[in-house]
Every structure is written in C-alpha cells, then in structure tokens.
Amino acid sequence: MGILDGKVAIVTGAGLGLGRIEALALAAEGAKVVVNDLGTDLDGTGSSESPAHDVVKEIEAAGGQAVASFGDVSSWDDAHRIVREAVEAFGDLNILLNNAGIQRDGMIVKMTEDQWDSVIRVHLKGHFSMIKHTMDYWREKSKASGGEPLYGRLISTASDSFMMGNLGQPNYAAAKAGIAHLTLSAAREVQRFGATANVILPRARTRMTMSGPWAGIFAPPEDGGFDVFAPDHIGPLAAWVASPHSQNVSGQLIQLWGKNIRVFEAPKAGLEYENDEPWTVDNLQAVLGPYFEDKKPIEDSFALPMM
C-alpha cells in the first residue's frame, strides 16, 4: 500500500533522467503512471520509443501499473491525446507532472530564432498545453459531480535559473520563468476544483547539467561519499507534492538537492520608500544609491550555478 494508491498520474519526459526517477517514485507509492516521452536527444532531435517502454517495464517489474505514451507535449492535439490516454487506460487523471524539456544553449548575440522558439515551445507551451487539457478534464469532472472537490495535483518543473538568468541560456531561463508564473496562475484557477498547483526546482545531475560548463560540479563524488546531486533525491519530493500531504500546499516553489530543501516565497519588495516630493535623479540617488552600494553584481552573487 502506498500513499498514492488508486491515483492516476501523467509524467512527461519520463523516459530518462529526472522524469524517469519521478515516474518510478509515483509508481512506488501506488500511482498508475502514463510514461510520456518522445525519446529525443537533448536538443529535441531524433526519437525512440525505447526509453518510455523501458520505464514501463521497470514499473511493472516492481508490481506497478504503467503505459507508454509518445505524444509531443508542445502539440495542442497531442497533449489532448495524452490526457485521454490516461483516462482511457486507468479511468481517471489525478496528477500531472510536467517534466519534458530540451536544451539549445547559446549567447543572446549568437542565438538563432530556431534555438529560441524550440526551447520556448517545448518547455513553456508544453507545460501550458498539458495543464490546459488536464484542467479541461477536471472541469468536466467537477461539473458532472455537482461541484464536489476532486483530487488534482499540477506539478511543474522549473529552475532557479529563471530568477538569476544563466549565462548562455536565455531561452531556457525565459521558459522557466514562464512556467513558474503559469503555474502560480493555475494554482488560483484550480482552487475551485479542490486541486493544487506547485513548482519544483530540482538541482540534480541530468543530461542538461552534464552537458554544460558546470558538469564537474554535478559529477558524482570521486571518494564515493554522499552524492549531493544524485537525481534519485528528487523522487521523494515529487511523490510528496503529488500526495494528500500537500492538500493545503499550492502556488509554491520548492527546491531540493541532496539533503537540502528550500521554499521560495512569492516575489516581495526588498525596498519600500515613499518620497516627500516627486522623484528626480538626485533624490532617487539619495534613496537607491545607499541601498545598492554594498550589493554584488549578479555574476558574483551565487557560488553554485543555477539549473
């Protein structure tokens, strides 16, 4: 018996990496899982059905239930079909964990239109399309029940890069910013169904982190000690946010790595000041100059690269 017994989940990008870990974690707690993955390369090219099928086999070998799905989350029609596949296979849909994404890095001055559009499409439109069709299903289910609260969990995958802006990843950072605020908006909208919407920000070893300039930071420890960035650490967080424990948790951004967890509050003012007269350059300097005097430039502010 698991905390998610009887629940049905879709996990996108579940064939490899964090998505696979999350799908296995939900299944281990009793959820029936739709394992969605196109089996693409890191940049979104190519395709293979093997990763999704392999995860289904892992779940079934452990005594769970799962089916593979190969729809493109950034396709409006495919996203609708993925939701239908969950309902047709298991009779319901309770949990949507959006994880699918690609990486096409580049400095702004060298970035192509296709690099920008493809990352925004897969990450941001992919999250929106899946959220939209899931919420449509919940709305109809709520109407049919006369407005009875339902069990619903929207879980989005973002990154603290959207707060800091990773050098060489402007498209990725922008997409993750959109995902975070899309999910905060969804959290307000799904309240009427009794559902929740939250964002997880994993710091872990993935294809994305191991292909960038910080690969050395995320590599396993050479001494065989505790592996801070092992992706397995993210599984329990995914299961907790998907579980009944999180019923009163919505509109939150939760980050986990190793033995560490952090909850980001909604943006709030760092300085508030009302002037006695209309602003001028001089009186702005009198207020803002001292406030920013000891603050570090953004490139010096964080010792650990964002993901």
Spatial distance between the Cα atoms of 306 and 160, rounded to a whole number of angstroms: 6
pLDDT number for residue 160:
82
Main-chain phi, psi angles of 69, to 5 degrees: -140, 140
129 is catalytic: no
pLDDT number for residue 46:
75
Delimit the domains of the chain by residue range. Answer: 8-268
Question: Residues of the chain whose pLDDT is less than 70?
Answer: 206-216, 218, 296-307
Beta bridge partners of 128: none
Cα separation values, 134 from 85, 127, 129, 190, 255, Å: 12, 11, 9, 11, 24
159 is catalytic: yes
Q: Work out the percent of the chain whose per-residue pLDDT is above 70.
A: 92
Q: Domain 8-268: state its class.
A: alpha beta
pLDDT number for residue 302:
42
69, 159, 161, 243: the catalytic one is 159
32, 129, 176, 243: the catalytic one is 176
74, 125, 172, 250: the catalytic one is 172
Spatial distance between the Cα atoms of 8 and 91, rounded to a whole number of angstroms: 8
pLDDT number for residue 305:
43
The helix/strand count (H/E) of the chain reads as: 10, 8
pLDDT number for residue 220:
72
Question: What predicted TM-score, i.e. pTM, was given to this entire model?
Answer: 0.89
pLDDT number for residue 7:
98
